[in-house]
């Protein structure tokens, strides 16, 4: 982390408080990454026990969000941070909200996997369709990992590269949806399980959206500019401006 962006405080305790809460965000991010990985494995293997593990562990992710949020509220009230310090606290509050929602999406995938595993339908989605979902899952999991790395290093260029990958996630999700609709039309017996796979793909697409959000918070934190509702082209211009 480039601490030159933030104030060097007389109070070493304040410095430590900011660093501790930042580290807790990264710990929460690691937990959420594990949730994604396990939910994808549960979907691939249709392992009901693993599905249950993911679902139950979501409570731990939720508790982490509440705890970090409370710590940020305490810092705001006690320290009254300004400038870069204030942006750090705001970015952390926003980031943990997206991480919690990513955890929720992983839980949804586990629920869908469990429903498919318990289904008595004769017709199941093909290995090709499951493979496409796994590929999308790997893509968005990488996006999250790189977004958290950009957050840890306050790297605007890295954050922009992750944001650019959201387009690929959207394209893969749309392709999966088209494939599954065709499959359901050809074999109506597959509708229930195919819908579960479709909702799983939708959850993964949403994870990609949340990973991009985290990248936008990194840009806000470093540059002090809110890029939540600007185009990718405008975000790229910002990066070019930094390099000139």
- The ranges assigned to domains in the chain are 7-243
Between CA 61 and CA 64 the distance in angstroms is 5
Between 130 and 126, residue with greater pLDDT: 130
How does pLDDT run across 170-214, given as a tens digit for each residue? 999 999 999 999 988 988 888 888 899 999 999 999 999 999 999
Indicate if the pLDDT at residue 1 is higher than 50: no
What is the distance between the alpha carbons of residues 196 and 116, in angstroms, rounded to a whole number?
Answer: 7
pLDDT at 124: 62
pLDDT at 7 over 60: no
Q: How confident is the model at residue 238 (pLDDT cuts 50, 70, 90)?
A: low
Q: How confident is the model at residue 126 (pLDDT cuts 50, 70, 90)?
A: low
Measured CA to CA, the distance from residue 214 to residue 241 in angstroms comes to: 21
- Could you tell me which residues come within 8 angstroms of residue 119 by beta carbon, excluding any fewer than 6 positions away? 192, 193, 196
Please state which CATH number belongs to domain 7-243. Answer: 1.20.58.220
Average pLDDT taken over every residue of the chain: 88
User: How far is the CA of 13 from the CAs of 9, 18, 75, 200, 222, in angstroms?
Assistant: 9, 9, 11, 44, 23
Cα separation, 172 vs 152, in Å, equals 28
- Three-state DSSP state, 229: coil
Of residues 62, 65, 57, 63, the one with CA closest to residue 110: 57
Joined together, the tokens standing for residue 148 give 């958290």
- Average pLDDT (122-129) is 61
Give the model's confidence band at 3: pLDDT under 50 very low, under 70 low, under 90 confident, else very high.
very low
Residue 12: the pLDDT is 77
DSSP-based three-state secondary structure for 131 = helix
Instruction: Determine how many CB atoms are found less than 10 A away from the CB of residue 175.
Output: 13
């Amino acid at each position: 982390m480039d601490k030159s962006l933030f104030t060097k405080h007389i109070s070493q305790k304040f410095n430590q408080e900011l660093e501790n809460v930042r580290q807790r965000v990264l710990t929460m991010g690691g937990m959420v990454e594990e949730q994604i990985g396990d939910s994808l494995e549960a979907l691939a293997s249709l392992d009901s026990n693993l599905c249950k593990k993911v679902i139950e562990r979501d409570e731990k992710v939720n508790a982490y969000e509440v705890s970090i949020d409370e710590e940020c509220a305490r810092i705001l009230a006690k320290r009254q941070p300004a400038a870069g310090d204030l942006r750090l606290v705001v970015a952390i509050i926003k980031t943990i909200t997206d991480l919690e929602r990513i955890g929720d999406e992983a839980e949804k995938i586990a629920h869908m996997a469990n429903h498919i595993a318990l289904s008595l339908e004769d017709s199941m989605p093909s290995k090709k369709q499951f493979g496409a979902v796994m590929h999308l899952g790997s893509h968005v999991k990488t996006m999250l990992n790189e977004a958290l790395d950009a957050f840890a290093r306050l790297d605007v260029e890295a954050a922009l590269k992750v944001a650019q990958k959201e387009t690929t996630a959207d394209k893969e999700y749309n392709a999966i949806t088209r494939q599954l609709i065709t499959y359901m039309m050809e074999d109506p017996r597959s509708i229930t399980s195919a819908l579960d796979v479709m909702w799983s793909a939708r959850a993964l697409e949403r994870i990609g959206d949340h990973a991009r959000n985290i990248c936008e918070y990194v840009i806000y934190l470093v540059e002090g500019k809110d890029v939540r509702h600007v185009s990718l082209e405008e975000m790229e211009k910002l990066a070019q401006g930094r390099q000139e």
